[in-house]
Amino acid sequence: MRSIDLKNITRNVKEMCIEANYYLSEDMNDALASALDNEEAQLGRQILEQLQENLVIAGSDMIPICQDTGMAVIFIEIGQEVHFEGGFLEDAIQEGVRQGYQDGYLRKSVVRDPIYRENTKDNTPAVIYYDIVPGEGVTITVAPKGFGSENMSRIFMLKPSDGLEGVKNAVITAVKDAGPNACPPMVIGVGIGGTFEKCALLAKRALTRTVNTHSNIPYVRELEEELLDKINKTGIGPGGLGGTNTALAVNINTYPTHIAGLPVAVNICCHVNRHVTRKI
Protein backbone atom coordinates (compact mmCIF):
# COMPACT_ATOMS: atom_id res chain seq x y z
CA MET A 1 0.00 0.00 0.00
CA ARG A 2 1.28 3.46 -0.94
CA SER A 3 -0.15 6.71 0.40
CA ILE A 4 -0.27 9.84 -1.74
CA ASP A 5 -1.16 13.28 -0.41
CA LEU A 6 -3.79 14.86 -2.64
CA LYS A 7 -1.94 18.20 -2.46
CA ASN A 8 0.65 16.48 -4.63
CA ILE A 9 -2.02 15.66 -7.23
CA THR A 10 -3.35 19.24 -7.22
CA ARG A 11 0.14 20.71 -7.68
CA ASN A 12 0.99 18.37 -10.56
CA VAL A 13 -2.31 18.95 -12.40
CA LYS A 14 -1.84 22.71 -12.04
CA GLU A 15 1.69 22.59 -13.47
CA MET A 16 0.64 20.28 -16.30
CA CYS A 17 -2.23 22.55 -17.40
CA ILE A 18 0.24 25.41 -17.68
CA GLU A 19 3.02 23.41 -19.31
CA ALA A 20 0.68 21.94 -21.95
CA ASN A 21 -0.56 25.35 -23.03
CA TYR A 22 2.84 27.06 -23.38
CA TYR A 23 5.10 24.31 -24.70
CA LEU A 24 4.26 21.78 -27.40
CA SER A 25 5.70 18.28 -26.92
CA GLU A 26 8.88 17.37 -28.78
CA ASP A 27 7.14 14.94 -31.16
CA MET A 28 4.71 17.68 -32.24
CA ASN A 29 7.54 20.19 -32.70
CA ASP A 30 9.43 17.70 -34.86
CA ALA A 31 6.33 16.88 -36.93
CA LEU A 32 5.67 20.58 -37.62
CA ALA A 33 9.31 21.14 -38.59
CA SER A 34 9.27 18.25 -41.04
CA ALA A 35 5.96 19.51 -42.51
CA LEU A 36 7.69 22.80 -43.29
CA ASP A 37 10.55 20.91 -44.99
CA ASN A 38 8.28 19.08 -47.42
CA GLU A 39 5.33 21.44 -47.97
CA GLU A 40 4.81 22.13 -51.68
CA ALA A 41 2.53 25.18 -51.45
CA GLN A 42 4.18 28.56 -51.02
CA LEU A 43 1.32 29.93 -48.88
CA GLY A 44 1.35 26.64 -46.98
CA ARG A 45 5.04 27.12 -46.15
CA GLN A 46 4.36 30.69 -45.08
CA ILE A 47 1.65 29.46 -42.69
CA LEU A 48 3.88 26.70 -41.30
CA GLU A 49 6.62 29.29 -40.73
CA GLN A 50 4.13 31.41 -38.78
CA LEU A 51 3.30 28.37 -36.66
CA GLN A 52 6.98 27.78 -35.90
CA GLU A 53 7.44 31.42 -34.95
CA ASN A 54 4.28 31.22 -32.85
CA LEU A 55 5.73 28.34 -30.82
CA VAL A 56 8.92 30.29 -30.16
CA ILE A 57 7.00 33.40 -29.05
CA ALA A 58 4.70 31.32 -26.83
CA GLY A 59 7.64 29.94 -24.88
CA SER A 60 9.75 33.10 -24.75
CA ASP A 61 7.01 35.67 -24.02
CA MET A 62 4.83 33.28 -22.00
CA ILE A 63 1.75 33.74 -24.20
CA PRO A 64 -0.36 30.56 -24.66
CA ILE A 65 0.27 28.85 -28.02
CA CYS A 66 -3.44 29.26 -28.84
CA GLN A 67 -6.03 31.48 -27.17
CA ASP A 68 -8.32 28.45 -26.97
CA THR A 69 -6.56 26.86 -24.04
CA GLY A 70 -9.19 24.18 -24.13
CA MET A 71 -11.41 22.19 -21.87
CA ALA A 72 -9.05 20.13 -19.72
CA VAL A 73 -9.31 16.40 -20.45
CA ILE A 74 -7.53 14.31 -17.84
CA PHE A 75 -6.67 10.62 -17.86
CA ILE A 76 -5.56 9.21 -14.55
CA GLU A 77 -4.31 5.66 -14.13
CA ILE A 78 -4.35 4.64 -10.49
CA GLY A 79 -2.50 1.63 -9.17
CA GLN A 80 -4.88 -0.43 -7.04
CA GLU A 81 -2.37 -0.42 -4.16
CA VAL A 82 -2.59 3.38 -3.87
CA HIS A 83 -4.40 5.19 -1.08
CA PHE A 84 -5.11 8.93 -1.39
CA GLU A 85 -4.98 11.10 1.72
CA GLY A 86 -6.31 14.54 2.49
CA GLY A 87 -9.72 14.67 0.82
CA PHE A 88 -11.43 13.46 -2.34
CA LEU A 89 -9.42 12.73 -5.49
CA GLU A 90 -11.76 14.45 -7.93
CA ASP A 91 -11.80 17.65 -5.85
CA ALA A 92 -8.00 17.65 -5.88
CA ILE A 93 -7.88 17.30 -9.67
CA GLN A 94 -10.48 20.04 -10.24
CA GLU A 95 -8.57 22.31 -7.85
CA GLY A 96 -5.41 21.72 -9.90
CA VAL A 97 -7.25 22.74 -13.07
CA ARG A 98 -8.70 25.82 -11.32
CA GLN A 99 -5.27 26.97 -10.10
CA GLY A 100 -3.56 26.17 -13.41
CA TYR A 101 -6.02 28.17 -15.51
CA GLN A 102 -6.09 31.10 -13.08
CA ASP A 103 -2.39 31.38 -12.24
CA GLY A 104 -1.32 30.42 -15.77
CA TYR A 105 -3.27 33.23 -17.51
CA LEU A 106 -5.20 30.62 -19.48
CA ARG A 107 -8.61 31.31 -21.02
CA LYS A 108 -11.69 30.23 -19.10
CA SER A 109 -13.75 28.52 -21.79
CA VAL A 110 -16.15 26.32 -19.82
CA VAL A 111 -19.86 27.07 -19.40
CA ARG A 112 -21.90 25.56 -16.54
CA ASP A 113 -24.88 24.46 -18.62
CA PRO A 114 -24.82 23.60 -22.33
CA ILE A 115 -28.04 25.54 -22.99
CA TYR A 116 -27.89 28.47 -20.54
CA ARG A 117 -24.11 28.88 -20.99
CA GLU A 118 -22.93 30.79 -17.94
CA ASN A 119 -19.11 30.76 -17.81
CA THR A 120 -17.77 29.00 -14.69
CA LYS A 121 -14.88 31.51 -14.75
CA ASP A 122 -12.22 29.02 -13.63
CA ASN A 123 -12.35 26.50 -16.51
CA THR A 124 -13.70 23.75 -14.27
CA PRO A 125 -14.99 21.17 -14.42
CA ALA A 126 -12.41 19.16 -16.31
CA VAL A 127 -13.43 15.94 -18.05
CA ILE A 128 -11.77 13.13 -16.08
CA TYR A 129 -11.29 9.45 -16.93
CA TYR A 130 -10.13 7.04 -14.23
CA ASP A 131 -8.48 3.70 -14.84
CA ILE A 132 -7.55 1.24 -12.13
CA VAL A 133 -4.31 -0.56 -12.99
CA PRO A 134 -2.06 -3.02 -11.12
CA GLY A 135 0.64 -1.72 -8.78
CA GLU A 136 1.15 1.42 -6.73
CA GLY A 137 1.90 4.03 -9.39
CA VAL A 138 -0.24 6.94 -10.56
CA THR A 139 0.05 8.27 -14.13
CA ILE A 140 -1.69 11.49 -15.08
CA THR A 141 -2.15 12.82 -18.61
CA VAL A 142 -3.49 16.35 -19.07
CA ALA A 143 -4.74 17.06 -22.59
CA PRO A 144 -6.41 20.49 -22.98
CA LYS A 145 -8.73 20.21 -26.00
CA GLY A 146 -9.65 23.16 -28.22
CA PHE A 147 -13.11 23.15 -29.71
CA GLY A 148 -12.43 24.39 -33.23
CA SER A 149 -11.30 20.86 -34.01
CA GLU A 150 -13.45 19.11 -31.39
CA ASN A 151 -16.55 20.46 -33.17
CA MET A 152 -15.45 18.74 -36.39
CA SER A 153 -15.11 15.29 -34.78
CA ARG A 154 -17.50 12.52 -35.79
CA ILE A 155 -18.78 9.10 -34.86
CA PHE A 156 -19.98 6.55 -37.41
CA MET A 157 -21.87 3.38 -36.45
CA LEU A 158 -20.87 1.29 -39.49
CA LYS A 159 -22.08 -2.17 -40.42
CA PRO A 160 -19.63 -5.09 -40.14
CA SER A 161 -19.95 -5.53 -43.92
CA ASP A 162 -18.57 -2.00 -44.43
CA GLY A 163 -15.20 -3.39 -43.34
CA LEU A 164 -11.86 -1.67 -43.75
CA GLU A 165 -13.06 0.37 -46.76
CA GLY A 166 -15.91 1.73 -44.65
CA VAL A 167 -13.44 2.78 -41.96
CA LYS A 168 -11.23 4.57 -44.49
CA ASN A 169 -14.20 6.39 -46.00
CA ALA A 170 -15.40 7.48 -42.56
CA VAL A 171 -12.03 9.01 -41.66
CA ILE A 172 -11.58 10.76 -45.02
CA THR A 173 -15.16 12.09 -44.87
CA ALA A 174 -14.60 13.54 -41.41
CA VAL A 175 -11.32 15.19 -42.45
CA LYS A 176 -12.78 16.68 -45.64
CA ASP A 177 -15.80 18.03 -43.79
CA ALA A 178 -13.49 19.55 -41.18
CA GLY A 179 -11.31 21.25 -43.80
CA PRO A 180 -10.07 24.67 -42.71
CA ASN A 181 -12.27 24.78 -39.59
CA ALA A 182 -10.08 22.37 -37.64
CA CYS A 183 -6.84 24.36 -38.03
CA PRO A 184 -4.84 21.98 -40.22
CA PRO A 185 -2.29 20.44 -40.24
CA MET A 186 -4.37 18.24 -37.96
CA VAL A 187 -3.72 15.18 -35.84
CA ILE A 188 -6.38 12.50 -36.32
CA GLY A 189 -7.32 10.22 -33.44
CA VAL A 190 -9.37 7.22 -34.53
CA GLY A 191 -11.21 4.65 -32.45
CA ILE A 192 -12.44 1.45 -34.06
CA GLY A 193 -14.63 -1.03 -32.19
CA GLY A 194 -16.07 -1.16 -28.68
CA THR A 195 -19.45 0.43 -28.04
CA PHE A 196 -20.67 3.91 -28.97
CA GLU A 197 -18.95 5.70 -26.07
CA LYS A 198 -15.93 3.38 -25.83
CA CYS A 199 -15.13 4.08 -29.46
CA ALA A 200 -15.10 7.85 -28.87
CA LEU A 201 -12.85 7.38 -25.86
CA LEU A 202 -10.43 5.24 -27.91
CA ALA A 203 -10.20 8.09 -30.42
CA LYS A 204 -9.58 10.69 -27.72
CA ARG A 205 -6.90 8.53 -26.11
CA ALA A 206 -5.25 8.03 -29.53
CA LEU A 207 -4.60 11.79 -29.67
CA THR A 208 -2.43 11.53 -26.56
CA ARG A 209 -0.07 9.05 -28.21
CA THR A 210 3.10 10.64 -29.63
CA VAL A 211 2.78 11.35 -33.34
CA ASN A 212 5.99 9.54 -34.28
CA THR A 213 4.83 6.13 -33.06
CA HIS A 214 2.54 3.56 -34.65
CA SER A 215 0.15 0.89 -33.46
CA ASN A 216 1.89 -2.44 -32.85
CA ILE A 217 -0.92 -4.30 -34.66
CA PRO A 218 0.44 -4.74 -38.21
CA TYR A 219 -2.78 -4.01 -40.14
CA VAL A 220 -3.54 -0.99 -37.93
CA ARG A 221 -0.06 0.39 -38.54
CA GLU A 222 -0.60 0.04 -42.29
CA LEU A 223 -3.97 1.72 -41.97
CA GLU A 224 -2.40 4.65 -40.09
CA GLU A 225 0.17 5.10 -42.86
CA GLU A 226 -2.32 4.71 -45.70
CA LEU A 227 -4.83 7.13 -44.19
CA LEU A 228 -2.16 9.78 -43.55
CA ASP A 229 -1.09 9.52 -47.17
CA LYS A 230 -4.70 9.76 -48.41
CA ILE A 231 -5.45 12.74 -46.14
CA ASN A 232 -2.39 14.58 -47.40
CA LYS A 233 -3.59 14.08 -50.98
CA THR A 234 -6.85 15.95 -50.33
CA GLY A 235 -5.07 19.25 -50.92
CA ILE A 236 -6.60 20.94 -47.84
CA GLY A 237 -3.15 21.95 -46.61
CA PRO A 238 -1.96 24.25 -43.79
CA GLY A 239 -4.75 26.57 -42.66
CA GLY A 240 -7.01 24.88 -45.22
CA LEU A 241 -5.54 27.22 -47.84
CA GLY A 242 -4.14 24.49 -50.07
CA GLY A 243 -1.09 22.29 -49.73
CA THR A 244 0.37 18.90 -49.09
CA ASN A 245 0.35 18.86 -45.27
CA THR A 246 -3.24 18.37 -44.10
CA ALA A 247 -2.44 16.00 -41.23
CA LEU A 248 0.70 15.31 -39.22
CA ALA A 249 -0.37 11.87 -38.01
CA VAL A 250 -3.21 9.37 -37.84
CA ASN A 251 -3.27 7.48 -34.52
CA ILE A 252 -5.65 4.54 -34.30
CA ASN A 253 -6.78 2.50 -31.29
CA THR A 254 -8.94 -0.62 -31.59
CA TYR A 255 -11.04 -2.67 -29.16
CA PRO A 256 -13.20 -5.81 -29.43
CA THR A 257 -16.76 -5.09 -30.52
CA HIS A 258 -20.18 -6.74 -30.96
CA ILE A 259 -21.07 -9.19 -33.77
CA ALA A 260 -23.56 -6.64 -35.12
CA GLY A 261 -21.39 -3.53 -35.12
CA LEU A 262 -18.39 -1.59 -36.41
CA PRO A 263 -18.21 1.74 -34.54
CA VAL A 264 -15.67 4.28 -35.83
CA ALA A 265 -14.92 7.54 -34.04
CA VAL A 266 -12.78 10.28 -35.54
CA ASN A 267 -11.52 12.80 -32.99
CA ILE A 268 -9.85 15.64 -34.81
CA CYS A 269 -7.20 17.80 -33.20
CA CYS A 270 -5.55 20.92 -34.60
CA HIS A 271 -1.77 21.32 -34.89
CA VAL A 272 -1.75 22.41 -31.23
CA ASN A 273 -2.13 18.83 -30.03
CA ARG A 274 -1.39 19.31 -26.33
CA HIS A 275 -0.71 16.54 -23.90
CA VAL A 276 1.55 16.22 -20.90
CA THR A 277 2.05 13.00 -18.93
CA ARG A 278 3.62 12.57 -15.50
CA LYS A 279 4.14 9.61 -13.23
CA ILE A 280 3.53 10.42 -9.59
Partner 1 sequence: MEKYVNIPMNREVASSLRAGDYVHLTGTMYAARDAAHKRMQEALAEGKALPINPDNNVIYYMGPSPARDSRPVGSAGPTTSSRMDKYAPALLDLGLKGMIGKGKRSIAVKDAIVRNGAVYFAAVGGAGALLSRTITSSQVIAYDDLGTEAIRRLEVQDFPVIVVMDSEGNDLYETAVLQYNKEN
Based on CB atoms, which residue is closest to partner 1, 65 or 171?
65
Does 66 sit near partner 1 (CB under 8 A)? yes
Of the candidate spans 4-12, 107-115, 153-161, 206-214, the one that interacts with partner 1 by CB under 8 A turns out to be 107-115
Contact stretch for partner 1 (CB under 8 A) within 1-9, 154-162, 254-262, 265-273 = 265-273
- Binding letters toward partner 1, positions 13-52, x by CB under 8 A: ---------------------------xx-xx-xx--xx-
Interacting residue with partner 1 among 140, 223, 236, 247 (CB under 8 A): 236
125: preceding bond cis by omega (within 30 degrees): yes
* Residue placing its CB nearer to partner 1 in the complex, 94 or 244: 244
Closest CA to 108 of 71, 73, 82: 71
Instruction: Report the distance separating Cα 146 and Cα 273, nearest Å.
Output: 9
Find the shortest distance in angstroms from Cβ 43 to partner 1. Answer: 7
Rounded CA separation 217/207 (Å)? 17
CA distance 254 to 104: 36
CA dihedral 205, 211, 212, 213 (to 10 degrees): 20
Half-sphere exposure of residue 108: CA atoms within 13 angstroms, side-chain side:
15
Q: Mask 76-95, x = binds partner 1 (CB under 8 A)?
A: --------------------
